[in-house]
C-alpha cells in the first residue's frame, strides 16, 4: 500500500490545525480513527495516498494502528517522516516503533477512545513520551517494557530488538548487513544502533560492545 498525504475529514478547520496522518490496515479502521480525531477542530486528519517522501508536506504527527497487521507500512512511514512524532495503537514498545527512548511517541491500546487518542496526539506534538497503563501492563507481563538507563542495572534498558542488533554489531556487521540479517530497513538498523549506543553511554560501536560485555549484557 502506498503512503503519503491526502485530504481527510477536518481539513480546512483553520490555519492553526495540526496535520495528522492516519494509517491502518483496513479502511474502516482508518475512517474510525479519523472520525475520533476529527472531534478536535484543531486536528486535521489526513489519509495515506501518494508515495512516501513525495512532494506532499510532512504531517505534524503520524497515527498508526498496528493491531491489524500494519507493521511494515508503519516502518515505511517512519522512514518517510523520521522526525515526525508517532502515536501507535496495538503496538509492543519493545519491538515496534521507536521504543520509549527514541523520541516523542505514544503507545495506546487498539481500542483507545477519542479523548485518549486526541490527548496522545497533543502530547507527542509537545515532545512527550506516552504509554497507556494497559499497554505497560501487558508488556511487563511479557518482559518487554524497556526501563530507562538511569534506573536499574546497566543494559537493562535494551529492548529485545536492540539486543539482536548489539549481537550483530559485535560481529562487526555494518548497518546494511544488520538490516539484511534482521529483515528491516537500513534506516531502522541505524536507528537501533544509535539507540543502544545512547543507552549504553558509548561513543562508538566498539565501545558499546566493550561496555556491554563488561556489564554482562553481551555474552563473550
For the entire predicted model, the pTM comes to: 0.58
Structurally, the chain folds into a number of domains equal to 2
State pLDDT tens for residues 126-142: 998 888 877 765 444 34
Looking at residue 6, its pLDDT comes to 46
152 is a domain residue? no
Same domain for 16 and 122?
A: yes
Which helix (H) or strand (E) segment holds residue 76: the answer is helix 71-80
How many residues would you count in the chain? 220
- 150 within some domain: no
Position 53 scores a pLDDT of 54
Residues 131 and 127: their CA atoms lie apart, in Å, by 13
Q: For residue 139, what pLDDT is reported?
A: 46
Q: What number of H helices and E strands is found in the chain?
A: 8, 7
Model pLDDT for residues 84-114, shown as the tens digit of each residue: 899 998 887 776 777 776 678 888 888 888 9
- Structural domain boundaries enclosing 210: 160-214
Domain shared by 134 and 171, yes or no:
no
In a domain, 23, yes or no: yes
What letter would DSSP give residue 48?
A: -
Does residue 106 sit within a domain? yes
Triad 183, 184, 190: Cα angle to 5°: 135
- Least Cα distance to 93 among 114, 66, 73 occurs for 66
CATH number, position 192: 1.10.10.10
| pLDDT higher than 90, residue 211 | no
Question: Over the stretch 16-38, which tens digit does the pLDDT of each residue have?
Answer: 789 999 988 888 888 999 999 98
pLDDT surpasses 80 at 115:
yes
Residue 86 belongs to a domain with what CATH number? 3.40.50.2300
My answer on whether 26 and 118 are in the same domain is yes
Q: How many CA atoms lie within 13 A of 13 on its CB side?
A: 20
Residue 80 lies in a domain: yes
The reply to whether 11 and 86 lie within a common domain is yes
In a domain, 113, yes or no: yes
> Are 41 and 130 in a shared domain?
yes
Domain co-membership, 135 together with 197: no
pLDDT digits (tens, 9 = 90+) for 164-174: 888 899 888 88
> Do 28 and 55 sit in the same domain of this protein?
yes
Q: Identify whether 202 is part of a domain.
A: yes
Decide if 154 is inside a domain.
no
* pLDDT higher than 70, residue 78: yes
Domain end point (choices 114, 141, 168):
141
69 and 25 within one domain: yes
The answer to whether residues 49 and 11 belong to one domain is yes
Same domain for 111 and 39? yes
The pLDDT score that the predictor gives to residue 159 is 78
Amino acid at each position: 500500500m502506498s503512503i503519503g498525504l491526502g485530504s481527510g475529514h477536518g481539513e480546512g478547520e483553520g490555519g492553526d490545525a495540526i496535520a495528522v496522518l492516519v494509517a491502518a490496515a483496513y479502511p474502516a479502521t482508518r475512517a474510525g480513527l479519523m472520525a475520533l480525531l476529527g472531534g478536535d477542530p484543531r486536528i486535521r486528519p489526513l489519509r495515506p495516498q501518494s508515495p512516501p517522501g513525495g512532494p506532499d508536506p510532512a504531517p505534524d504527527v503520524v497515527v498508526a494502528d498496528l493491531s491489524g497487521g500494519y507493521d511494515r507500512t508503519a516502518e515505511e512511514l517512519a522512514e518517510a517522516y523520521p522526525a515526525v512524532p508517532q502515536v501507535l495503537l496495538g503496538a509492543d514498545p519493545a519491538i515496534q516503533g521507536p521504543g520509549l527512548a527514541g523520541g516523542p511517541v505514544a503507545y495506546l491500546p487498539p481500542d483507545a477512545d477519542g479523548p485518549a487518542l486526541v490527548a496522545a496526539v497533543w502530547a507527542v506534538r509537545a515532545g512527550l513520551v506516552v504509554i497507556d497503563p494497559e499497554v505497560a501492563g501487558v508488556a511487563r507481563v511479557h518482559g518487554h517494557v524497556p526501563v530507562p538507563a538511569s534506573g536499574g542495572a546497566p543494559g537493562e534498558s535494551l529492548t529485545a530488538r536492540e539486543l539482536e542488533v548489539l549481537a550483530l554489531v559485535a560481529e562487526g556487521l555494518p548497518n546494511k548487513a544488520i538490516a539484511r540479517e534482521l529483515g528491516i530497513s537500513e534506516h531502522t538498523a541505524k536507528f537501533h544502533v544509535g539507540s543502544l549506543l545512547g543507552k549504553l553511554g558509548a561513543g562508538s560501536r566498539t565501545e558499546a560492545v566493550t561496555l556491554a560485555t563488561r556489564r554482562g549484557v553481551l555474552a563473550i
